[in-house]
A and B are shown apart, each in its own frame.
Chain A
């Protein structure tokens, strides 16, 4: 089923979508361009919260709340800690980005990338409607499929996390010998 622009604009859900998507994009722009490092990271919170809200809209409740818990709860804290430890200047600081000679080609590349992807999708999907589910995907069904069809990848991911844990410790640990010198 394809949807014309007239139908699209009159559907109330799309206004909700726009209300979520536009601030999300705006916050994303802020993440990559803000001159205050803390502000950039806080903009990341808004971006991720926006995607979480979209997931709730699509009925993917478990994934949405996981984003809130894991990303906004934990990952952002990690970023803030990273900022604190690397003693980044907390005031407005122009030295966070590359000079304009680097920014313009990068912006151009990004726009072309967006055009390529957008063109490809538009050509393939057109106005195909997304069938919104009547009820949200339950956590129970996610859990069921996770531990039947996806149990091997699940185990693999747990190994990756373990490796990351060990790797993180090994990397960030102060070398005892070094400590003696300092």
Chain B
């Protein structure tokens, strides 16, 4: 097995996730796409951890932290989506264009 196969898988997952973030209308699905991107990062971290044979398992620990942060991110993200939905009766982010001047 080579390191590059894992990294390429990570890159592919990341790009797919990016596509989802850019094209999904539904805010929940945008968050799901972000999760795909985070999974790609996790794959990279663990693969390099094994590749470098790090004694302190930096990659795996970082992955654990990332999982915790991603959980927090989803929690907050869903809360924001709920709030937006409550105010505007829609979870579609393309209707959120009040940032336009």
Contacts and interface: CB of A to CB of B under 8 A. Distances in A.
Interface of A: 3, 8, 11, 13-14, 17, 21, 24-25, 28-29, 31-33, 37, 40-41, 44, 47-48, 51, 54-55, 58-60, 62-63, 66-67, 70-71, 74-75, 78-79, 81-83, 85-88, 95-98, 102-103, 106-107, 109-111, 113-114, 117-118, 121-122, 125-133, 137, 141-142, 145-146, 149-150, 153-154, 157, 160-161, 163-165, 167-168, 171-172
Nearest to B24: A97
A31 B47 CA distance: 23
B60 A79 contact: no
Interface in B21-59: 22-29, 31-33, 35-36, 39, 42-43, 46-47, 49-51, 53, 55-57
Contacts of A88: 26, 28, 91
Nearest to A75: B74
B83 interface: yes
6 contacts: A8-B2, A21-B5, A24-B9, A62-B64, A75-B74, A79-B31
Contacts of B51: 128, 130-131
Interface of B: 1-9, 11-20, 22-29, 31-33, 35-36, 39, 42-43, 46-47, 49-51, 53, 55-57, 60-61, 63-65, 67-76, 78-83, 85, 91-92, 94
Given A107-B19, A145-B55, 15 more contacts: A21-B5, A32-B33, A32-B36, A58-B50, A60-B60, A79-B78, A96-B25, A107-B23, A109-B19, A111-B15, A114-B11, A137-B57, A149-B61, A161-B72, A164-B76
Given A78-B75, A88-B91, A122-B4, A145 B42 contact: no
The 6 closest A-B pairs by CB, nearest first: A32-B20, A164-B72, A106-B22, A86-B91, A171-B79, A117-B11
B78 A102 contact: no
Contacts of A8: 2
